[in-house]
Amino acid sequence: MATGQLFSRTTQALFYNYKPLPIQRMLDFDFLCGRETPSVAGIINPGAEGFQKLFFGQEEIAIPVHSTIEAACAAHPTVDVFINFASFRSAAASSMAALKQPTIRVVAIIAEGVPELDTKQLIAYARANNKVVIGPATVGGIQAGAFKIGDTAGTLDNIIQCKLYRPGSVGFVSKSGGMSNEMYNTIARVTDGIYEGIAIGGDVFPGSTLSDHVLRFNNIPQVKMMVVLGELGGRDEYSLVEALKQGKVTKPVVAWVSGTCARLFKSEVQFGHAGAKSGGELESAQAKNQALQDAGAVVPTSYEALEAAIKETFENLVEGGKITPVKEVVPPQIPEDLSTAIKSGKVRAPTHIISTISDDRGEEPRYAGVPMSSIIEQGYGVGDVISLLWFKRSLPRYCTQFIEICIMLCADHGPCVSGAHNTIVTARAGKDLVSSLVSGLLTIGPRFGGAIDDAARYFKDAYDRGLTPYEYVEGMKKKGIRVPGIGHRIKSRDNRDKRVELLQKFAHTHFPSVKYMEYAVQVENYTLSKANNLVLNVDGAIGSLFLDLLAGSGMFTKQEIDEIVEIGYLNGLFVLARSIGLIGHTFDQKRLKQPLYRHPWEDVLYTK
């Protein structure tokens, strides 16, 4: 492996398996370091394509998303780092696919628990093809002031405290990602900071070893000393011992192997990492520390003394003129996310939408404040849900029952009415359900199903003003307005609409008052004196009875009733109800596999 540094200020990576937080942390680090280009060139999210919006400083950028590793590498031929956030189940396969791409040079595998056989195959392929694997079970690595992998070094506050926004003089390598964060802080306190830090991962078979990176650091001119943090278990540290003995490492190495406390236990102890388990005296922390010290590394007497040993080594190099401490720079201020700033009370921001009918925050959705579980447990029906979402209150049972009756009675009126006809024609044209439904709904208006609001509006105005049926009807005639809710193409005095009769019967039985309906009937009596088909139709019946429901329930003010009629609540009932029938007609035509509809010539009057 050896060679030199892995990363630079122009290094870019492909990020596998989209994770917004670590990607944003990488981009924030880029901005902190003054990079001109984002370190994440593309995202690979299997089965998805497009773009993901993220922040690069104050600027919002769109990072391309690719569905395959091959497509991403082809689209970004200069990218040579692959950061793999796949689960342990798929990490090996995706990492191997990345290693086989000629443009990829470094693969970082974050997942723990990758099968050891798969890891060995990855290591063998990487070594045979002069590529580098960091991990598995790693947090990644960082080159100070240049590039970092994923969540390496933690939060921005920690990065600034550890002076990672600019390069120092120390090369650091560890098995542990968590301890890396601690050591970055320690090194920053007593030196000019790190130049590069790597966490090789805690699995039994790491993709690259401690000695691999120490030998590489030895070839980087900017690295003047190395700090190594090993742990009990395995024999990785002994390859570093051999390199030191053979004189391959010419720069000072300060090392410590954690786990000396293992001897205090009577039986073998498994520490946090899969590889942190002593398999004999040679794998103990004490034996490794002694071997490193004998080979020439600076090894303190305890972990607590490690900081002092690093400090002393650094100061000796400064005094000897081998290190000129890096001048401190002030990093730029990273813009704070709005959500974070709001939570901390630093800013306030207006909302963009107001909602009063439902709330999907918390453990379960609420309709007008009523938890979903209560709706189910108390046996609420469709009418009750409408009363909550439309009227923002729980109406009496007779009211919600009336709403349900209206929906049932208006659900369909055969295939010949304009709405159903349009839906049928559209469905037979091969269109989807939504298109077929909408084509039928768009016919609802003043001439088809949309007269409920107008009927209620005009009946209410006439009744409230004390107009007689004669004054109301004749007044509408003078204005050139047809009386909404009166008249039918088929029904007549001798062939009444059964739906109207059912609604009136229910209201007489359950409503406290039916004054508006009775007024509508008086108007019907007058219009029938003019023509036999000027009967009260279902629009007029629903419109007048809904006025009685609103007024008689005692739950609405006059202003609320006027607003409900004005907004179009009552037509909403027809739209909701008729959607049931239009969906049924769509399914019926598709089930019957009906062909494209063409209107017959004989039903068209061709004229000049």
Looking at residue 353, the DSSP 8-state letter turns out to be: -
CB neighbours of residue 11 within 10 Å: 22
Phi then psi for residue 536, to 5 deg, are: -70, 120
Q: How far apart are CA 433 and CA 542, in angstroms?
A: 28
Report how far residue 44's alpha carbon sits from residue 67's, in angstroms, rounded to the nearest whole number: 6
Q: Which secondary structure element, helix H or strand E, spans residue 225, and what is its range?
A: strand 225-231
Tokens of 288: 């490794």
Starting at the edge strand found earlier in the chain, the sheet holding 132-134 runs: 50-56, 59-66, 40-44, 13-16, 81-84, 106-109, 132-134
Helix (H, G, I), strand (E, B), or coil: what is residue 372? helix
Tokens of 73: 């590498």
What's the token pair of residue 40? 């994440």
Distance of alpha carbon 365 from alpha carbon 20, whole angstroms: 26
Rounded CA separation 424/582 (Å):
8
Asked if 421 is an active-site residue, the reply is no
**Which of 66, 76, 213, 273 is the catalytic position?**
273
DSSP summary character for residue 262: G
Q: CA distances (Å), 580 to each of 49, 401, 405, 407, 437, in order?
A: 36, 18, 14, 9, 9
Closest CA to 388 of 365, 414, 362, 369: 369
Measured between alpha carbons, how far is 370 from 355 in angstroms, rounded to an integer?
15
Which are the contacts of 581, defined by CB distance < 8 A and separation ≥ 6? 411, 412, 413, 420
Pairing label, strands 370-371, 366-367 = antiparallel
Could you tell me if 256 and 175 are in contact, meaning their C-beta atoms sit under 8 angstroms apart? no
Q: Where does 39-165 show beta strands of DSSP type E? A: 40-44, 50-56, 59-66, 81-84, 106-109, 132-134, 140-143, 147-148
Active site residues: 273
